[in-house]
Structure 1
Amino acid sequence: MQFWNRRQAILGAIAVGLAACAPSKFRRYNGPEVTRVEIHKGARKMYLLHHDKVLKQYDVGLGAAPVGHKQFEGDSKTPEGLYYIDRRNPNSNFHLSVGISYPNPADRAFARAQGKSPGGDIFIHGQAGKHMGRGRGRDWTDGCIAVTDREVEDIYAMLRLGTPVAIYP
């Protein structure tokens, strides 16, 4: 009986030690503040800027229907316009994600005038590598902006709530 308890204690200590050594998806960032995010849909590029200086740039995947502004729920388009970072999701189904404030009041008014929902839940998120290799192509989201998991870890650390996001055609 004593052997069994000692064995359980040793195995428990090893498990705790291994868990402590596991890499975290949460990174730290101590550089210049990101004052603006620009997404250029046509070039499939995202830039994190400190005023006019590019701090980081990323290749991105977009909604499965990448041309044009998102207007309605289910249209698979990525929005265009001025938004801001409005939430952070550490438990995202896409590794990590930061929310973009779509729909804005103009988006809601347009959709309402058409008798439709504008949709929502637009994020910058990870897992691009997992989806792009499976016949889904470069643009595979329902309207979000996709990067690799490693990239979204950096983005998640760098962006703060309220950071402006400009999305261009």
Structure 2
Amino acid sequence: MRTKSPSLVLMMFITCLSFSAMAQIDQVLVDKSKRRLYLLEQGETIKTYRIALGKFPQDPKHQEGDQRTPEGDYVLDAINLHSNFYKAFHISYPSAKDIAYAQQHGLNPGGDIHIHGLKNGYQRPPEFIQSFDWTNGCIALTNQEMDELIRLVPVGTPIHITW
């Protein structure tokens, strides 16, 4: 097996450090139809991730248990390092608009929506897990991507989710 030279490994490490030190992510965009999450800095895409969504991704979330991922403008407002999934970044769903819609239609809008890693203890390869929609309405990344997201995105960053 061929190994990388120490200088190449060092250069790759410095590049990664430079990227994370320079990136000032100020917005997260989610395009549910493309199954992509984008990290933006001043309108420029810095990083793109393939995502898995709720089992019924088309149309916005309206009620608890509908297995839909919300659509609209929210905030990434807290990080949970002790969830049932490998790390989770809380999304501020439901918004006032979501609550008003739910009340008007006699629904419970639900909550507890996150960007999260894989379910704790799950053993299948991340590539397999990301090949279909499996969450109850959340947005899923691989565990490695979740670590990177938490490192690059500050708490309080706005997130826009659209179809």
TM-score normalized by the length of structure 1: 0.77
Match of 1:81 in 2: 72
Greater shift, 121-130 or 58-67, is seen at 121-130
- Hey, what does 1:114 align to over in structure 2? 105
Partner of 2:37: 46
Q: What's 2:49 paired with?
A: 58
Letter in 1 for 2:99: R
Shift of 1:151: 0.3
Cα distance in 2, alignment partners of residues 71 and 130 from structure 1: 32
The residue correspondences of 1:17-166 to structure 2 (distance < 5 A) are: 29-127=20-118, 130=123, 133=128, 138-166=132-160
Distance of 1:36 and 1:52 partners within structure 2: 8
Specify the code of the residue in structure 2 equivalent to 1:89.
N
Distance 1:142 1:130, change over 3 A: farther
How far apart are 1:52 and its partner, in Å?
1.7
Runs of 5+ in structure 2 lacking a partner?
1-16
TM score, norm. by length of structure 2:
0.80
Larger Rg: 1
What CA deviation, in whole Å up to 9, does each residue of 1:140-163 have, x standing for no partner? Answer: 001000010000000011111210
Q: Percent identity over the alignment?
A: 38
- Matched pairs, number: 141
Superposed CA offset, 1:79-131 (max 9, x none): 01111111110112211110111100010111112222100011011117857
2:11 aligns with none
User: 1:114 and 1:47, CA in 2 relative to 1: closer, same or farther beyond 3 A?
Assistant: same
Question: Gaps (5+ residues) in structure 1?
Answer: 1-27
* Structure 1 vs Structure 2 CA RMSD: 2.0
Instruction: Give me the whole-angstrom Cα distance separating, in 1, the residues matched to 2:47 and 2:82.
Output: 24
Report the Cα distance in structure 2 between the residues aligned to 1:115 and 1:92, rounded to whole angstroms: 30
Task: List structure 1 runs of 4+ shifted beyond 3 angstroms.
Answer: 128-134
User: Any idea what SS the aligned residue of 1:42 has?
Assistant: helix
CA distance in 1, matches of 2:55, 2:123: 15
Residue matched to 1:23 = none
Tell me the distance in 2 between the aligned counterparts of 1:130 and 1:152. 17
